[in-house]
Structure 1
Amino acid sequence: MNANASPTAASRWAIVISGGVLMGLSLGIRHTQGLFMQPVTSSHGWPLETFGLALAVQNLVWGLAQPVTGLVADRYGSGRVLCLGILAYGLGLYLMAQAGGPAGFIASHGVLIGIALSGTAFGTVYGALSRIFEPRRRGWALAVAGAIGGLGQFCLVPFVQHLLAGAGWQNAATVLGLLVLASLPLALPLRARVLEKQAGLPGRPPGASVRDALRRRGFWLLNLGFFACGFQLAFIAAYLPAYLLQHGLGLEQAGTALALIALANIFGTYACSRSAGLWRIKHLLAGLYAVRVAAMLLFLSMPVTAASAYAFALVMGFLWLGTAPMTNELVLRMFGLRYVATLFGIVFLGHQVGGFFGVWLGAWVYDRTHSYEWLWIGAIAIGCVAAAAHWLIDDTPLAASDGPGLRLVRP
């Protein structure tokens, strides 16, 4: 393909499908970790806090690694980052199945898979799509890839349930690792990278772009809002099954709730991505967090039944990962395209710090109180803070998002 040529219709679909499938596998396997909790802790005789700590470390490592993988993708292309992330994911799942003690489990499930997620999830995929597609097609690309990723997450829930029931959790983790490794060829269509700098910013180093971002209050408010998102999603994904089991529902119903979150996420991610081109993104994000708060308050005020759990899962699922493409687009509009993966990675670190506390505190509080009530209260409180923070963001562009000096090459 010519360096200055736009992707053809066929290649556009190949690119977004590849990105969507990679996200579906990466995030789908992570989405099912709540189903592994009881089998893993029961087979090893570990307290819940051990599993929770591994998940918390995974969230934190993912966040710490994301700015680094983002910078590598911005400078050398997303294809290399995706390939290394896929290899690390497969190895991490295999070592997780072989771990005999807490240290090995935390090193594999926490550290290695955390690094792998930074190279295979939306931080890298959305950055690649933002570079490959021109502005008029970018919203479509992010929306379709996000929807395909949501479909993958939905399909993985019953698949993992079947594996756990029929093969045990160690074999299930090994099978998932092989499935991830089989996706390695999907990194090839996403290997486009930026060759030239943006018009008006010749030779601009990444450090200068990062310093400009850190000087803006809006960048810190965006981090604060994404912290709340990470706290809410990590807590709900990890502990909603246990919360439902505690209130008398069965494992099948808990799994169905997770599947409904993934199903609704398909439509929610697409709708959020497309809405970013119609309304002001900071207002959309503020509204999203406000609706999440309302959904949690309503869920907690009602008796826990299968119907109420499924309704809550559908609402939260619709609002689940729609924050990611909108936040990526807001970063791009505020700071430009050249280092979008790096800057989104820094914002995403805030998301994962929130995820760390959502998972770790969930286990810590439950082991001491045998209740998740205080965690729900915390998720609601920081949701209110996130809604206010996004409303106050100054989203005035620092530099043009695109320019005539930008072109793409295939390395």
Structure 2
Amino acid sequence: MRPETGKTSIAPILITGSIITALTLGVRATMGLFPDAIDQALDVGIGTVGLTVALQNLVWGLGQPLAGAIADRFGAARTLVVGAIAYAGGLLVMGAANGPAGLHLGGGVIVGLGMSAASFAVVLSSMSRLVDPQRRSMALGVATACGSLGHFVLVPLTGAVISAFGWRSALTVLAVVTVSIGLFVRPLRTQSGPAEAVEAVPDDDESLRTTLARAARHRDYLLVNCTFFVCGFHVTFIGVHLPKTLTDAGLETAIANMSWSLVGLFNIVGAFAAGALGMRFAKSRLLSIMYSTRALAFAGLVLLPPTPVVALGFGVVMGIVWLASVPLTSGIVLGQFGVRRAGTLFGFVFLSHQVGAFLGSWGGGEIRELTGSYDLWWWLAAALGIAAAAIHFSISEEPAPSRPVPRRGESPSAADGAVAAVDN
């Protein structure tokens, strides 16, 4: 489908993207509320529920490149509707489970697949296509910030439903919330938009296979994959294990929960700031600052006395740099390859993120079981943050080298070899 050149208002796109991101990330943030309730009801152990969430993240990551490619081909609106239905269905299967198999199938596999199609990655890629480049960074920042509004609203509401009606009822309510995404997708129904018209891409007829081959040879795109692995490691480790880290240190559960809530609240500030700053400064440099800040915060959490002030301060600092990486990282990928294959290419970056998420969550639990403390994993998280900060100093945001047009008598494979020679 060729780009539409008509003028498109940014408001419906921004509102729609923000609502969908708030719903998907908000429902995801509630998963940490269920382990105790499920264990008490089914006696399956906290580890079993933790494995369900780990599988959910891994399947989500594995499915994201395919979901991105489908959205690029058939449009984000259809992809989001199908994903929302699968997401809601997985929550219902999880709510009906009576043992590990049902939990892993519903909450792990089905929810993970649904999340890959009804995710902020699909939303942000679609918004990037529909919003002109001058306003893109801010639009992505606003939509990402609204994900924390979902976190801030749905987490306490879900906790109240669990306390009043039980965990199965809470999952049913979340399924209804999730399927409601289909009501908001209309402004994202176009496959292409003004951004593609503004960004004339020389290789507009380039096949998906060729684009992926170029990406696989592009050093800076591969480095972005490496650093987003670190982001996934960080955020999932914190989301699953921060409250337990704080209570292990002798702090009250209320303080631990407040620290986690502050992460969500202050992420609104951080995501907005990332979107605004990304319009004026190099995104790679901003990401270097962000990962360095995370590393310092991790070290401070381990070294400073475990007081309420330290715990709450950690929540504030982490909130500011929590999802600020998303609009900046997606912006770098868009700068390298344009918007036409944005869903697919960011899908692979997000897969790297989810592999990190799996290792951060699973490894943190294993380290605590082996050593009785999370300290070693916090130090590893700090070291990875420093490494990611250093790598971003060498990442270029310039467009990737275009696929050369074969000369007369030259095969396409020979022309592709020229790209490899340039990249190497």
TM-score by length of 1: 0.92
- Alignment of structure 1 residues 379-394 onto 2, 5 Å: 379-394=381-396
Q: Which has the larger radius of gyration?
A: 2
Kept in 1, the 8 Å contact 2:144–2:326? The answer is no
Distance 2:168 2:306 in 1: 32
**For the residues of structure 1 that align with 2:27 and 2:137, how far apart are their CA atoms?**
26
For residues 209 and 331 of structure 1, do their structure 2 counterparts lie closer, same or farther at Cα, with a shift above 3 Å needed? Answer: same
Secondary structure of 2:399 counterpart: coil
Match of 1:289 among 288, 291, 298: 291
Q: Deviations over 1:128-153 (max 9, x none)?
A: 10011111221232122222222222
In structure 2, C-alpha distance between the alignment counterparts of 1:90 and 1:24, rounded to whole Å: 16
CA distance in 2, matches of 1:193, 1:344: 16
2:48 pairs with 1:50: yes
Aligned mates of 2:344, 2:308 — CA distance in 1: 42
Q: State the match for 2:378 in structure 1.
A: 376
Higher RCO structure, 1 or 2 (CA under 8 Å, sep 6+): 1
Corresponding position of 1:228? 230
Q: When the two structures are aligned, how many residues end up with a matched partner?
A: 396
Mean Cα deviation higher: 360-369 or 213-222: 360-369
Q: Which runs of 5+ in 1 are unaligned?
A: 401-411
Structure 1 partner of 2:84: 86
The 2-side partners of 1:60 and 1:304 are apart by 32
Higher mean displacement: 285-294 or 356-365: 356-365
Partner of 1:141: 139
Q: Is the 8 A contact 2:65 2:351 kept in 1?
A: yes
- 2:112 is matched with 114
**Alpha carbons of structure 1 residues 319 and 374: separation in structure 2 relative to 1, 3 Å:** same
Matches within 5 A, 1:202-217: 202-217=204-219
Aligned mate of 2:320, from 318, 321, 336: 318
Deviation at 1:239, TM superposition (A): 1.2
Q: Which residue of 1 aligns with 2:368?
A: 366
> Are 2:95 and 1:97 equivalent residues in the alignment?
yes
User: How far apart, CA to CA, are the structure 2 residues paired with 1:271 and 1:69?
Assistant: 29
Question: Is the CA contact 2:201–2:338 (under 8 Å) kept in the aligned structure 1?
Answer: no
Q: Partners of 1:392 and 1:245 in 2: how far apart? A: 39
Q: Is the 8 A contact 1:227 1:353 kept in 2?
A: yes
C-alpha RMSD over aligned residues: 1.9
Which stretch has the larger CA shift, 30-39 or 225-234? 30-39
Match of 1:409 in 2: none
Q: Which residue does the alignment assign to 2:169?
A: 171
Higher mean alpha-carbon deviation, 244-253 vs 111-120, is at: 244-253
Q: CA contact under 8 A between 1:161 and 1:255: conserved in structure 2?
A: no
Is the CA contact 2:141–2:324 (under 8 Å) kept in the aligned structure 1? Answer: no
Contact 2:152/2:261 (<8 A) preserved? yes
Other-structure match for 2:418: none
Alignment of 1:177-216 (within 5 A): 177-194=175-192, 198-216=200-218
**Structure-2 residue corresponding to 1:161:** 159
- Residue 218 of structure 1: which of 217, 220, 238 is its match? 220
Question: Displaced runs of 4+ in structure 1, greater than 4 A?
Answer: 195-198
Distance 1:44 1:172 in 2: 16
Q: Given the alignment, which residue of 123, 126, 134 partners 1:125?
A: 123
Q: Is the 8 A contact 1:23 1:149 kept in 2?
A: yes
Deviation at 1:399, TM superposition (A): 6.0
Measured after TM superposition, the shift of residue 396 of structure 1 is 2.5
CA offset digits 1:85-104 (Å, max 9, x no partner): 11111111111111111121
Letter in 2 for 1:13: A
- The one-letter amino acid of 2:48's match is T
Q: Distance in 2 between matches of 1:251 and 1:84?
A: 38
Deviation for aligned residue 1:116: 1.6
Most deviating of 52-61 and 364-373: 364-373
The equivalent of 2:407 in structure 1 is: none
Kept in 2: contact 1:55–1:110 (CA 8 A): yes
Distance in 2 between the 1:399 and 1:184 partners? 38
Structure 1 residues 12-91: aligned runs within 5 Å: 12-91=10-89
**CA-to-aligned-CA distance 1:322-378 (integer Å, 9 cap, x gap):** 111111110010112210111111111110000010111122223333322222122
Contact 2:44 2:99 in 1 (8 A): no
Determine the C-alpha separation between the residues in 2 that align with 1:48 and 1:377. 24
CA drift of 1:247 comes to 2.8
- C-alpha deviation, 1:206, in angstroms: 1.0
Change (3 A) 1:250 1:96: farther
Q: CA deviation at 1:214?
A: 0.9
Q: Is the 8 A contact 2:97 2:103 kept in 1?
A: yes
User: Which deviations, in whole Å up to 9, do the C-alpha atoms of 1:202-224 show, x marking residues without a partner?
Assistant: 42111111111110221221111
Q: CA deviation at 1:254?
A: 2.9
CA distance in 2, matches of 1:51, 1:370: 20
CA drift at 1:171? 1.4
Deviates more, 1:290-299 or 1:188-197: 188-197
Query: How far, CA to CA, are the matches of 2:380 and 2:45 in structure 1?
Result: 23
Q: Identity over aligned residues, as a percent?
A: 37
Per-residue CA deviation, residues 221-255 of structure 1 (Å, 9 max, x unaligned), is 11110011000100100111222232333443333
Output one character per residue of 1:95-135: Cα deviation in whole Å (capped at 9) or x when no partner. 11111111211111111111122122221010010011111
| Shift in Å, 1:174 | 1.3
Tell me what 1:243 maps to: 245
Q: Secondary structure at the match of 1:367?
A: helix
- Structure 1: distance between partners of 2:230 and 2:177: 32
Q: Is this contact kept in 2: 1:86–1:119, CA < 8 A? A: yes
